[in-house]
A and B are shown apart, each in its own frame.
Chain A
Amino acid sequence: MIRLEPRRSHSQAMVYLSPVLAIVMTLVVGGVIFAFMGKNPLEALYTFFILPISNSYGVSELLVKATPLVIIAIGLAMGFRANVWNIGAEGQLTMGAIFGGGLALYFYDSQSVFLLPAMLVFGAIGGAFWGAIPALLRTRFNANEILTSLMLTYVATLFLSYLVHGPWRNPEGFNFPESRPFPDAGLLPIIYDGTRVHLGTAIAVLVVIAGWLLLSKSLIGFQLRVVGKAPQAARHVGFRQKRMIWFTLLLGGGLSGLAGLFEVAGPIGQLQPSISPGYGFTAIIVAFLGRLHPVGILFGGLIMALTYLGGELAQITLGLPNAVTGLFQGILLFFLLACDVLTKYRIRFGSIAAKGRTA
């Protein structure tokens, strides 16, 4: 029989240890799964987690994949702290790509230096707009933001599909469902030659710093921390919940939109029916892996980006289905949530009666 005994205060050691513990447990379970699939577990784990970053190009690809994850997760984490469950980041990402990318397509022969900055602004606005809808529906009509933000993800994806199959299809594209390629002025500059690492990666680092400042130094950051730790106290002091909902959904949406724009103006270079391998959902795990803290999220983003790279490599070299990545991500989140309990409780085995006798 397992019993949980509350700790007097959160264990600081466990705050840092529990994500590490969760990763170790995920690796063990992953090894077992690989063995079940008839692969050598150690070789498979090596292919999955070491081989992808064993050369400098691999590391650069890790940064490319971590960029959207980190940017989105920073925004989501602010909401999760305040119990605002925006799980529609994938849709907000898509809307950002549509808004910002649409601008590039409208000025497809532009050479203006203002095009890219304008696209960034439009991308953020597109995402924030898509995040504003659940915010409005929650604050005005009391509708659950979990369900509305997720439903809007399907709507955004279908809308993008409509655009690239219809009005925005490349007239010179042999009928493929793709837009024109963006003009050079609408592409993110590569910041490290010979790789795909783009300006967005540098901006992601700035977002981490800004997120950290926001959380530790600003009033709203203080409120977010208090709401997360003591919701009743926050209500007594008169923190306005509606403001939190608006702030976190606009911020989360805006950052997701920016991340979406970075994808289409960076590695992809045009609009396509599919522009993200589920970054918006994986960012939820990144936020938890980083313990809802911007610096933690930076590490969490790198680790989750590794699961994407490892999944691709394992597919090529070991013939493992790509779905292994999703499975790993789900298992990791389970273990994270399970290990979280260690920060708040001590685990005791045996019944109280047994304990009474030994005491």
Chain B
Amino acid sequence: MDWIVPFTLTVITASTPLLLAASGELITEKSGVLNLGVEGMMLVGAIAGFAVTATTGSAILGIFASVVAGVLISLIFAFLTLTLMANQVATGLALTIFGVGFSALVGSGFVGFAIDPLPSLSIPGISQIPVIGPILFGQDFLVYFSLLVVFGVGYFLTKTRAGLILKAVGDSHHSANAIGYSVIKIRYLATMFGGAMAGLAGAYLSLSYTPMWAENMTAGRGWIALALVVFATWRPGRLLAGAYMFGLISVMQLHAQGAGIHVPSQFMSMLPYLATVIVLVIISSDRAKIRLNAPACIGQAFRPAH
């Protein structure tokens, strides 16, 4: 049973960036905005976090930079789609293409740099308890923060007034506007939150998961996060379960060889992408459920009458 602890640890670390990015996107989509640029925002967050950490030596500053970078790049999307009413799908794609290029350009000076990974929590005594010690009390703080975020998002959406307003804006922007809420302002904020979380997810990849910079290091995780939001039918509880399920699938390739399963590595690497397709098919075919939970105005531009 020696494998349980290392296996669980890799599942947790693989799930965390998905959970962070998907929680942010969930809020964005609940406000009625479909931002397909998660992959690009994650990459920009990853390089911002890495570059600042590598130059200043401070991971805290790096994480802060990744959040700021994620917010700034999401503002480009918000300005184009919310102020200029550009097509959200096309703008999201542009954001990803831009993010890939921008991060590669900034990152070209940081290839081969080494940094210390984020320190993990270490409570004397407790973290040394066999099995549960390292799993529950031996993670770095972003892991705990990601759990906090998803619970916070759940609480926000169901228990707070602001959360209800956000959902109203996503479900019927004209009614929300008529009652007097500023649809555009709320959508700006929701998009910025999505950007911040995607930036943080990127920082987790470049500072903790693999403490280094490599071009395109997100490897489609931003897109998987988008699929996770659909999988979760826009509900945070299911998002948590989905993120850990995908984390599990994506680390299987790392452990298959050790377990004596000899499938070519490429086929193991396909698993997360194939699983995403299969999961999307299963969830989406229940049209009634999607209609019930999806924000009704998702992807639609809103032009204020005044």
Contact = CB atoms under 8 A, between A and B. Distances in A.
A joins B in a complex? yes
Interface of A: 2, 4, 6, 80, 85, 87, 137, 140-144, 146-148, 150-152, 154-155, 158-159, 161-162, 165-166, 281, 284-285, 288, 321-331, 333-334, 337-338, 340-341, 345, 352
Contact of B267 (A142, A147, A162, A330): A162
A341 B86 CA distance: 7
B303 to A, nearest CB: 7
A218 to B, nearest CB: 25
Given A148-B281, A338-B84, 14 more contacts: A4-B85, A4-B303, A140-B285, A142-B284, A142-B287, A151-B277, A159-B266, A161-B266, A285-B97, A323-B104, A326-B97, A326-B98, A326-B101, A345-B85
Contacts of B97: 281, 284-285, 326, 329-330, 333
Contact of A151 (B76, B84, B220, B230): B220
Contacts of A87: 93
B277 A337 contact: no
A321 B111 CA distance: 12
Contacts of A146: 36, 89
A147 B226 contact: yes
Contacts of B223: 147, 150-151
Contacts of B95: 330
23 contacts: A4-B84, A137-B277, A140-B285, A141-B281, A147-B227, A150-B220, A150-B223, A151-B273, A151-B277, A154-B219, A154-B220, A158-B267, A162-B264, A166-B264, A284-B93, A323-B107, A327-B102, A330-B95, A330-B101, A333-B93, A333-B98, A337-B91, A341-B86
Interface in B76-129: 76, 80, 83-87, 89-91, 93-95, 97-102, 104-105, 107-108
A284 B97 CA distance: 10
B contact face: mostly helix, strand, loop, or mixed: helix
Contacts of A328: 101
A4 B82 CA distance: 11
Contacts of A331: 98
A314 B212 CA distance: 26
Interface string B255-273: 0000000001011011001
A330 B100 CA distance: 9
B140 interface: no
Interface string B220-264: 100100110010000000000000000000000000000000001
B97 to A, nearest CB: 4
A27 to B, nearest CB: 16
Contacts of A337: 80, 84, 86-87, 90-91, 94
Nearest to A287: B90
How big is the B interface, by class?
A: 35 or more
A341 B85 contact: yes
A141 to B, nearest CB: 4
A90 B211 CA distance: 29
B267 A338 contact: no
A146 B85 CA distance: 20
Contacts of B93: 87, 284, 333
Interface in B127-151: none
A321 B105 CA distance: 6
B266 A162 contact: yes
B15 to A, nearest CB: 18
B64 to A, nearest CB: 22
Given A327-B102, A330-B101, A158 B285 contact: no
User: Closest 4 A-B residue pairs measured CB to CB?
Assistant: A326-B101, A330-B98, A323-B104, A327-B101
A324 B219 CA distance: 20
B105 A323 contact: yes
Contacts of B83: 2
A335 to B, nearest CB: 9
B80 A338 contact: yes
Contact of A158 (B76, B80, B266): B266
Contact of B104 (A166, A285, A321): A321
B84 to A, nearest CB: 4
A345 B264 CA distance: 54
Contacts of B101: 323-330
B214 interface: no
A166 B215 CA distance: 26
Contact of B280 (A143, A158, A326, A338): A143
Contact of B281 (A143, A152, A323, A334): A143
A159 B80 CA distance: 37
B76 A334 contact: yes
Contacts of A323: 101-102, 104-105, 107-108, 215
B172 interface: no
Contacts of B102: 323, 326-327, 330
A85 B93 CA distance: 10
Given A151-B223, A151-B274, A334-B76, A158 B269 contact: yes
A152 B264 contact: no
Give the most central of A2, A137, A147, A352: most B CB within 10 Å. A147
